[in-house]
Structure 1
Amino acid sequence: MKVLVSACLLGENCKYNGKNNRNETLIQRLQFHEVVPICPEVLAGLGVPRPCVELRAGVAYNQYGEKVDDAFRAGVARALAQIEGQTIDLVILQSRSPTCGVKQIYDGSFRKQLIDGQGMLAAALLARGYRVVDVEDIDSVPEL
């Protein structure tokens, strides 16, 4: 099985704060599968670390109020281009991220308020018919 995974979950220091979301349980479960790491924010050319970003009405803004939507959309486009032509059996993405959030994202107020919705990459992958799972729900994936 080929699995597309948020790179931060694999221990890559690509989060906005320069850290990662390394998930040992996920890494263990992926050991017999082909893994394709992805970070659309890094693919967008955004630095590490970088200002925190949230989506407001589907548009990406950083914590300073600057609209960074074009860069985020470019990163998503690069991520989609990177996997074009590949058979991806499963996608596992980081919770609540403005690009990778599957079920919830922050509301754009930078007050840690969650709303139902998807990050830009998650939404694009779901729209294309990929099987997308939030990392917090990996127990619901029997083949892992």
Structure 2
Amino acid sequence: MNKKNKILVSACLLGNKVRYDAKDNLIDSSHLTRWQEQGRLVPVCPELEGGLPTPRSPAEIQSKFPLRITSFTGEDVTPEFLAGAEKTLELARQYDCCCALLKSRSPSCGNLEVYDGNFNGTIKAGSGATADELMRNGIPVYSERQLDQLIEFIDQLDSYDSSDFQQEAI
């Protein structure tokens, strides 16, 4: 039986109002709509999973080693971000997700770049707590800025799974 590959997705990208400011980052994509209709998407907000409320003060990574994430008001929210990363990894494993589509630049979900920790909109190379946890555990992470690459990845997996299934049937 050809199972459809599951994709872990930042809930805000699906229109859930879970961002720090109680807004969303909905992306309009026929691929996402189709995958959602197929039951392939596993929505998650790592920050909510870690116990943070919505709305909440924005947070940025202050240092990576050791990891320290603070809110705009100076509160250390590192434990919540780490707990959210662990719970998100558990969810990805539970649903056997092949990859993740996460919100770019987020201190949880950013996979290539994040805000620099000064709360002034400056971007730097780096990744968030959840993206790091997933990648360390072999789960590829894409951002909404890499949607074309994600689509290509999923199409390749689906065609591989289909040809594998056809081989088994012979």
> TM-score, normalized by length of structure 1?
0.92
* Pairwise CA distance, 1:101: 0.2
| Distance (Å, rounded) in 1 between the aligned partners of 2:87 and 2:141 | 18
Q: Is the CA contact 1:3–1:33 (under 8 Å) kept in the aligned structure 2? A: no
Residue 109, structure 1, aligned to residue 121, structure 2 = no
The AA in structure 1 aligned to 2:95 is Q
SS in 1 for 2:82: helix
The TM-score normalised by the length of structure 2 is 0.79
Which residue number corresponds to residue 45 of structure 1?
Answer: 51
Name the count of aligned residue pairs. 144
Sort the Cα spacing of 1:132 and 1:29 in 2 relative to 1 into closer, same or farther, 3 A. Answer: farther
Please give the secondary structure, in 2, of the residue aligned with 1:101. Answer: coil
SS in 2 for 1:18: coil
Structure (1/2) with the larger helix percentage: 2
Name the aligned partner's letter for residue 15 of structure 1: R
* Aligned pairs (5 A) from 1:35-114: 35-58=41-64, 59-114=68-123
SS in 2 for 1:96: coil
Matched residues in 2 for 1:69 and 1:90: separation? 24
Q: Which consecutive aligned stretches of 4+ in structure 1 deviate over 2 angstroms post-superposition? A: 26-33, 81-86
How far residue 33 of structure 1 moved from its aligned partner, in angstroms, is 5.4
What RMSD, in angstroms, separates the aligned Cα atoms of the two structures? 1.5
CA–CA separation in structure 2 for the residues paired with 1:122 and 1:44? 14
Structure 1 range deviating more: 63-72 or 45-54:
63-72
CA–CA distance in 2 between the matches of 1:85 and 1:23? Answer: 25
SS of equivalent to 1:78 = helix
Deviates further, 112-121 or 27-36: 27-36
Unaligned 5+ residue runs, structure 2?
Answer: 156-170
Deviation at 1:84, TM superposition (A): 2.9
1:17-36 map, 5 Å: 17-25=21-29, 27-28=32-33, 30-31=35-36, 32=38, 34-36=40-42
Shift of 1:30: 2.6
Contact 1:4/1:37 (<8 A) preserved: yes
Is contact 2:8-2:42 (8 Å) kept? yes
- The structure having more radius of gyration, on CA atoms, is 2
Identity %: 34
